[in-house]
Amino acid sequence: MTRHFLNTQDWTRAELDAVLAQAARFKRGLAGGASNGRPLEGKSIALVFFNPSLRTRTSFEIGAFQLGGHAVVLQPGKDAWPIEFDLGTVMDGEAEEHIAEVARVLSRYVDMIGVRAFPKFVDWSLDRQDRVLQGFAKYATVPVINMETITHPCQELAHAMALQERFGGTDPGSSPEQVLRGKKYVLTWTYHPKALNTAVANSALTIATRMGMDVTLLCPTPEYVLDERYMDWARANVAEQGGSLTVSHDIESAYSGADVVYAKSWGALPYFGDWEREKPIRERYRHFIVDEAKMALTRNAAFSHCLPLRRNVKATDAVMDSPACIAIGEAENRLHVQKAVMAALARGDG
Ligand code: CP
């Protein structure tokens, strides 16, 4: 069976640790042995983008190049044909071809396929099926990599690596879990003028609990709690790894004593597709912005965000420009972890 990288939860801790260790070697300029130096030599990856990107597109293209491979970017509906994902559809609308052909044809040309496909933000019961990613995974005969759909596993790994670096765990042989276990981790909702994807929040909760941290999900009201699937993953991780999971709507107690503050904005799932109803609720919580006063409640916490970030909406200039902010390092780590994921998939690991 073809091995994909759709979610970190599908990979074992040992596999994730190996990817992070390889990413650290790439970052230090060590290829991990001559035979591993250019594991994509003569290989190629199709990067299929249904949504915009700065970091993901750049880091995957550069990463493939640095590993000796070649990347082809496709944007269905723009520079590639629009795709149908449902079986049985009479395709007399916009879509010119079906995922059953697209994924199998691409698999004849390339050795991996990356997919970015955000929710459509109309019906969460449909979006939570992740049909675009699952369609590629179903029909492709080469590994598929999630470049952000309803989770963002590449961001998770970059985040874990940045935290490991921050807390001094880059010594050979140390695992992120050894370094991060017992740290207080706060995933805080922040205001944004639009209702955004829950992917990074789902992912932050997943990886933070996977690393054995004491995790607080801070959000304005119960409506902003994440989908039960990801809450269940987090609870399962706590049961397996130790640590804890708390949901809080109280800013002061959540920030108090925190070692990590990770910020993200997302739309409330009960209002999915009816954002006019959610908007006035969201507007009441602009004060969830990450600022110096909140960071002062922490234990000299590291602050991060996946980027892009609207300054002085999600976090203040002072926080973004402070030594606490590790967002740029986390963004750099996207390159290293994705190279490690591509190298692992090219070798057929896992
Ligand atoms: N964090 C992230 O995935 O950035 P892009 O949307 O720019 O790719």
DSSP letters spanning 223-283: GGSPPHHHHHHHHHHHHHH--EEEEE--HHHHHTT-SEEEEE----GGGTT-HHHHHHHHH
Q: Whose CA is nearest to atom 4 of ligand 1?
A: 55
Cβ burial, residue 332 (10 Å; 0-12/13-18/19+): middle
Q: Which atom of ligand 1 is nearest to the CA of 54?
A: 7
ipTM exceeds 0.90: yes
Q: How far is the CA of 196 from the centre of ligand 1 (A)?
A: 13
Q: What is the pLDDT of residues 190-247, one digit of tens each?
A: 999 999 999 999 999 999 999 999 999 999 999 999 999 999 999 999 999 999 999 9
Using CA atoms, how far apart are residues 194 and 275, in angstroms rounded to an integer?
A: 8
Query: What per-residue confidence (pLDDT) applies to 169?
Result: 67
What pLDDT score does 214 carry? 98
Average pLDDT, the chain: 95
Distance 116 CA to ligand 1 centre (A): 10
How high is the pLDDT of residue 209? 98
Please give the distance, rounded to the nearest whole angstrom, from the Cα atom of residue 70 to the centre of ligand 1.
20
* Between residues 10 and 30, the one the model is more confident about: 10
- At 50-102, the pLDDT tens digits run 999 999 999 999 999 999 999 999 999 999 999 999 999 999 999 999 999 99
- Residue at 256: amino acid letter: S
Contact assessment for residue 230 and residue 202, using Cβ atoms and an 8 Å cutoff:
yes
Sequence ranges of the binding site for N(2)-acetyl-L-ornithine: 148, 264, 307
The response to whether residue 54 sits with its C-beta less than 6 Å from ligand 1 reads: yes
Query: What is the identity of the amino acid at 278?
Result: E
306 within ligand 1 shell (Cβ under 6 A): yes
Measured from the CB, is residue 148 less than 6 Å from ligand 1? yes
CB 187 within 8 A of CB 224: no
Residue of the CA atom closest to atom 7 of ligand 1: 54
Q: Ligand 1: which of 55, 156, 161, 332 to mutate, most ligand atoms within 8 Å of CB?
A: 55
Measured CA to CA, the distance from residue 33 to residue 326 in angstroms comes to 29
Residue nearest ligand 1's atom 6 by CA: 53
pTM: 0.96
Name which residue sits closest to atom 3 of ligand 1, judged by CA: 56
